[in-house]
Amino acid sequence: MMKSITRKHSGELRKQGGMMLLEGLLAILIFSFGILAIVGLQSSALRYTTDAKYRLDASFLANQSIALMWTNRTSLDVHEVTDEDIISLPQGKRTIAVTGNDVTVTITWKLPGEVTAHKYVVTATING
């Protein structure tokens, strides 16, 4: 009677022979997908942080240009420029257009590998 119980028990173990290995592989697969998702999320966060930094720099440069015009309100035309290079932005350009007392400052930049350029535009009225 003892032999039949042992044979029955060992037969059940044989049926589950590769199940633990399969569970281990499945756990590794799920873990790998999780790690890939975290890496992708970090990459996106870095891209958005870099984009925000460049937008902040463009905003600062545009406001700085307008502030300089406020200090010399008598001759706004002197400040007018077209596609002036900006060192602090990748492929950065500044254009200042003056129409009477209205001033439009346009800052553009283009990151390496991107097709379209980013643009920041500020319009101000400077009363003399």
Q: pLDDT for 78-118, tens place per residue?
A: 888 889 999 999 999 999 999 888 999 999 999 888 899 99
Q: Does 11 reside within a domain? A: no
Q: Is residue 65 part of a domain?
A: yes
pTM of this prediction exceeds 0.75: no
Residue owning tokens 């319009």: 123
How many residues does the structure list for the chain?
Answer: 128
Evaluate whether 102 touches 123 at the Cβ level (below 8 Å).
yes
Asked if residue 38 is part of any domain, the answer here is: yes
Q: How many domains, the chain?
A: 1
Query: What is the extent of the structural domain holding 38?
Result: 18-125
Q: Across the strands, what pairs with 120? A: 107
Chain segment 2-14, per-residue pLDDT in tens: 555 555 566 666 6
